[in-house]
Structure 1
Amino acid sequence: MGWLADETGLDKCAANFVPLTPLSHLNRALEVFPERIALVYGTTRRSYVEFHARVSQLASALKERGIVPGDVVAAILPNSAPQVEAHFGVPACGAILNAINTRLDVDTVTYIFEHSGAKMVLVDTQFLKLAEDAVKQMHGTPPQIIEVADPEHGFAAGGHYLEYEELVAMGDPMFDWIMPQDEWESIALNYTSGTTGKPKGVVYHHHGAYLATMGNAISWQMQLYPVLLTIVPLFHCNSWTHPWMMPMLGGTTVCCRDVTAKAIYDAIADEGVTHFAGAPIVLNTLINCKDSDRRPFDHVVEVFTAGAPPPAATLAAIEPLGFNVTQVYGLTEVYGPATVCTWKPEWNGIEGEERAEIKARTGVLMPMMETITVHDHGHEVARDGVHLGEIVMRGNSVMKGYFKNPQATQEAFEGGWFRSGDIAFMHPDGYIKITDRAKDIIISGGENVSSVEVEGVIAAHPAVSLASVVAKPDEKWGEVPCAFVELKDGATATDKEIIAFCRERLAGFKTPKRVVFADLPKTSTGKIQKFELRAVAKLLD
């Protein structure tokens, strides 16, 4: 292949090869941008010198508490300073970070604790009961609980556990980080529902995380010293790797614990926020907020949005307010965004519906990916804007695989591609456009909801014979779960009863917002025909 005839003495060594890791971004920032502000959270402002020292203390303290390389450290935290510190401090001691969705139900968190084998969990006081209830249900050794108080936001320490600041104080700010020896080493473990009811553990490596930071910065056309507002939760694909990216650019990460229009406008006006990412619901929040929540600002804020293409009316309303919106697409399995609707100069001047249609494209591959295309039976579909197929991907920012699930990993990588399960076509210029998400997944406010999981809960109701859950379009959330229920002969139940039953057992965003009682359409073999139910759900008020 590409080897010289004589490669004697040309081997890798410490001088010419260093494993890629986003940890290197922060070490470099300490040298290059020491006094620049790295992190803002409420009244907390930390320079890169201070931020690096805090990360070192956390890594050191974790080691002192018995965490060794290869261990999993979980976090049930909002977008806060400790969450950002954990994204560096946990891998800096050789451990793997498992950032858990704060909106999950107790059973799911219990499963994640058990499946990941987490040795420790950092828990915000607001979510302490969730962690405690999950631990009570566990079989096996539970993780150590470290309480992360946030008194500035109304969550004082309860005093029952070692508190985060006490933990950090135990650490050495000069701690020598345990850097990866192999860039294929794991850096993060993120659980996603995917197309099954049980969450799957998606494993990220240092190599992919590093290159994702590079790809995101290029795709977002970032320059030095950006100011990023954390709207995307850090438990979602590690906020698309953005916290790891910012030190590379000497940027400032502004944490937003509670996402409101006022909080966003305040951050833009007070902190000079230049970039944020979020689901289309965030755009609608900014458009429809009270005038008293708005603040003037004198620059254009760059916005990445994903989940569902913003409609023309949303784009027409948001852009005059000072926001430039770019559509991206990805999955947990590819570190967040993998495609971007890169704007072409020849599109300048296009307005209205045509502009919105272009901006709603799924786009083209980001720089860290090798190939992203649309396949039908193993071959690329015609680039004619008509023929449909499945989006498939290959590149450096594809996951290592699913933790403790080799069969699912093999299926996902069948034929040497990561198979997304999302249906799309290709325009003549190669831009991809999704026509339908994976059929059984409901995307509600940016959160994945497994219909299988919700159906299983409804089926446990004593009056229910069969249940099928599909997505119902929703102006606010994009999609919400809609349940079609077939009752047992002679049994009775109301929609409110079914919804209440689910709410006791599921996270709020997974709970059906509408219940329809009917005989479910079935094939000759008894399989429920969901496409018919989807058509009905679209017509419901």
Structure 2
Amino acid sequence: MAITIADLVEHAVDACGERTAVLCGDRSVTYAELEQRTNRLAHHMQANGVTAGSHVGVYGRNSIELIEAMIAAYKLRAVAININYRYVENELRYLADNADLCALVYDRALAGTVASVTPDLPKLRHRIVIEDGSEAESDGVPYATALEQGSPERDFGPRSPDDHYILYTGGTTGMPKGVVWRQEDIWRALGGGVEVYTGRRLPDEWEQSRTGAENPPLVTLPIPPLIHGATQWASLRALFSGGAVVMLPDFSGHAVWDLVQRHKVNVLLISGDAMGRPMIEAVNEREYDISSVVAIASSAALFSASVKNQFLEKLPNAVLTDSIGSSETGFTGLSIAQRDGVSTVGPRVIADEDAVVIDDEGNPVAKGETGRLARRNYVPIGYYKDEKKSAEVFVTIGGERYTVPGDFACLEEDGTITLLGRGSTCVNTAGEKVYPEEVESALKAHPAVFDTLVIGIADERLGQRVAAVIAAREGDRPGLTELNEFLRERIAGYKVPRSVWFADSIRRTPSGKPDYAWAKEFAAGREPDDSVAVTAGKV
């Protein structure tokens, strides 16, 4: 049994050929068409030097072609490498070189950036251009030409579950790193190979396509960009099961609900408040038929209780879940949102049976204690070309291999786990640890706060003081005194921001993750809009 991404897609093709597979804008492809197009593209890549183990960059906004390029690479036992479409020259040059790209599939709008770095990348021998309506000049092969030149036949050799899948992290704590997985392991961790709710391990590679063919297809709209692992795997899981995937190239709250109404979307994937808030405001501004939605899943970013409650009011019969995980762990745990939740910390989840919270010596912590989140079973091989970092994160504890990516968590008295955040963003104020996600969630419960990031800034008395960069709602900027009174009813006094800066908007990655480096730069360049002096003792 060779469980690979390409095999799982091909099983769905064989079972659900006439169903719609992917939709974007006014275009769609059936499973049969997806098969022919990806075979053609794979054969074209093969004729131009892409072989088993080669790395193929995918660099563009969400589109049918970007999904096809990923599948085509996997058909050849090559590896698709995700590249942030917002990258400028230096970032693209670094990642393309670090990942040893031999081929690149990219949007025409990005041709100028590609052309500027190509002379520095001798391993990058072939380029394919996706037409996106722009007129940028490119010497890459047009995507349509690549399809014309390739055979539609599925005549590839056998594949192996040891074939690699690589996901580059967003680089929030340094330059992006490529997390290397065995394909069967990542399928078990994120692709449905282990059922989320029951923990049951699927017995064979045909169960998803077989079950999908026996049931009406679900329509899934994964909203974050395909550079984000959660979107890749939400899309792939849907394709493994004969469902339809709706692609959204450019996010806005209204654009999401337009697609939901148009395509009768059943499942939405979002990244916390960064997407949830604009969406809930959009549906409050305009009437949409959203009755088809049965599930909303949030991952990768903070999803505050206030926003969850608003979604549950609009969709009282939908299942709203909040999950935790990372590029290094895959799925770790989830919670099902309830009305009137009051938690102001990060996601509190029922953990996967392979998840554990450990202390600095690698021992499981007692209930009520905080430690680092770790996961065993179905973990990555390591970081691509980074043995030192791999040894720090992928460790052996008690004879078992664990991944310990640096997330702090609390093991609650009832056995659930609350994710607190990365140690690198933790604020140490007078010896007290403050996790930004907790303060951000409390701030977002204030009606005048649209978005925020919490950071630590230098303080003579405290070492660090808690501070916040806030995007307020138009015409409704709260003062520090007002925020202080509001927050002290929700979090301990030492966690309350002592300095506040207001920004027009909060910078986040395309997948909705916080850009704390930007927040620190923003604060460093100006005086606070509101601040209080610390005169004595702990705040």
1:399-448 deviations in Å (ceiling 9; x for gaps): 21111111211111223321121111112332110123232489xxxxxx
1:71 equivalent to 2:40? Answer: no
Report how far residue 214 of structure 1 moved.
1.3
Q: Once superposed, what is the RMSD of the aligned Cα atoms?
A: 3.5
1:198 is matched by which residue type in structure 2?
M
Find the residue that maps to 1:214 and give its secondary structure: coil
Measure, in 1, the Cα distance between the counterparts of 2:241 and 2:421.
36
Q: Distance in 2 between matches of 1:313 and 1:109?
A: 38
Assess if the C-alpha contact under 8 Å between 2:179 and 2:384 holds in 1.
yes
Determine the C-alpha separation between the residues in 1 that align with 2:98 and 2:258.
40
What do the CA deviations read for 1:440-497 (whole angstroms, capped 9, x no partner)?
489xxxxxxxxxxxxxxxxxxxxxxxxxxx99958555537788799xxxxxxxxxxx
In the TM superposition, what are the counterparts of 1:3-402 in structure 2 within 5 Å? 18-136=1-119, 138=120, 140-151=122-133, 155-156=134-135, 158=137, 160-180=139-159, 182-193=160-171, 195=173, 197-211=174-188, 212-215=190-193, 218-219=196-197, 224=215, 225-237=217-229, 239-280=231-272, 281-289=274-282, 293-322=286-315, 323-335=318-330, 337-341=331-335, 351-354=339-342, 360-365=347-352, 371-376=354-359, 377-383=361-367, 386-396=368-378, 398-402=379-383
**Which deviates further from its counterpart, 288-297 or 239-248?**
288-297
Q: Distance in 2 between matches of 1:43 and 1:216?
A: 34
Counterpart amino acid of 2:225? P
Q: CA 1:133–1:410 in structure 2 vs 1: closer, same or farther (change >3 Å)?
A: same
String of CA shifts for 1:255-310, please: whole Å, max 9, x gaps: 01011112211111111111121212111011222756541232333111123442
Q: Alpha carbons of 1:63 and 1:139: their partners in 2 closer, same or farther (altered >3 Å)?
A: closer
Deviation at 1:194, TM superposition (A): 5.7
Say if 2:101 and 2:123, in contact at 8 Å, map to a contact too: no
1:301-332 deviation line (CA, Å, top 9, x unaligned): 31111234422221221112225321101111
Distance 1:249 1:94 in 2: 21
CA contact (8 A) 2:335 2:349 kept: yes
1:215, 1:201 → 2: CA distance? Answer: 22
Q: Aligned partners of 1:257, 1:210: CA distance in 2, in Å?
A: 25
The SS at the match of 1:233 is: coil
Residues 152-203 of structure 1, C-alpha deviation per residue, up to 9 Å, x if partnerless? Answer: xxx35645331111112211111313442x31221334244263x2322111
Cα drift, residue 517 of structure 1: 6.3
The one-letter code sitting in structure 2 at the alignment partner of 1:338 is T
Pick closer, same or farther for the CA change 1:61–1:254 going to 2, 3 Å.
Answer: same
Distance 1:218 1:32 in 2: 23
Distance 1:37 1:418, change over 3 A: same
1:99-146 CA-to-partner distances (Å, cap 9, x unmatched) read 11112332121111111110111111222223223335x264444332
Distance 1:312 1:342, change over 3 A: closer
2:270 and 2:298 in contact (8 A); partners too: yes
Query: In the comparison of the two structures, how many residue pairs are matched?
Result: 440
The amino acid that maps onto 1:44 is R
Q: Tell me the equivalent position of 2:453.
A: 479
Between the aligned partners of 2:8 and 2:39, the Cα distance in structure 1 is: 14
Query: 1:481, 1:511 within 8 Å by CA — same for their partners in 2?
Result: no
Find the partner of 1:514 among 507, 522, 525: 522
> How far apart, CA to CA, are the structure 2 residues paired with 1:277 and 1:48?
22
Give the structure 2 partner of residue 466 of structure 1.
Answer: none
From the superposition, tell whether residues 216 and 244 of structure 1 become closer, same or farther in structure 2 (CA, over 3 Å). Answer: farther
CA distance in 2, matches of 1:479, 1:268: 30
The amino acid of 2:325's aligned partner reads: G
The alignment-based identity, stated in percent, is 19
- Counterpart of 1:124, as a letter, is D
User: TM-score if structure 2 supplies the norm length?
Assistant: 0.73
Amino acid at match of 1:252: A
| 1:48 CA displacement | 0.8
Whole-angstrom distance in 2 between the partners of 1:400 and 1:169: 37
Distance 2:155 2:245 in 1: 24
CA gap of 1:33–1:438, structure 2 versus 1, over 3 A, is same
Aligned amino acid, residue 178 of structure 2: G
Secondary structure (helix, strand or coil) at the match of 1:38 reads: strand
Equivalents in 2 of 1:104, 1:175: separation in Å? Answer: 34
Work out the CA distance in 1 between the residues paired with 2:55 and 2:426: 28
* Runs ≥4 residues deviating over 6 A: 220-223, 480-486
Task: For structure 1, list consecutive stretches of 5 or more residues without a partner in the other structure.
Answer: 1-17, 344-349, 443-469, 487-505, 520-534, 536-541
Structure 2, unaligned runs of 5 or more: 200-207, 428-435, 461-508, 528-533, 535-539
Matches of residues 366-515 of structure 1 in structure 2 within 5 Å?
A: 371-376=354-359, 377-383=361-367, 386-396=368-378, 398-415=379-396, 416-440=401-425, 473=440, 476=450, 479=453, 511-512=518-519, 514-515=522-523
Judged with a 3 Å threshold, the aligned counterparts in structure 2 of structure 1 residues 363 and 218 are, in CA distance, closer, same or farther, namely closer
CA contact (8 A) 2:234 2:269 kept: no
Matched residue SS, 1:241: helix
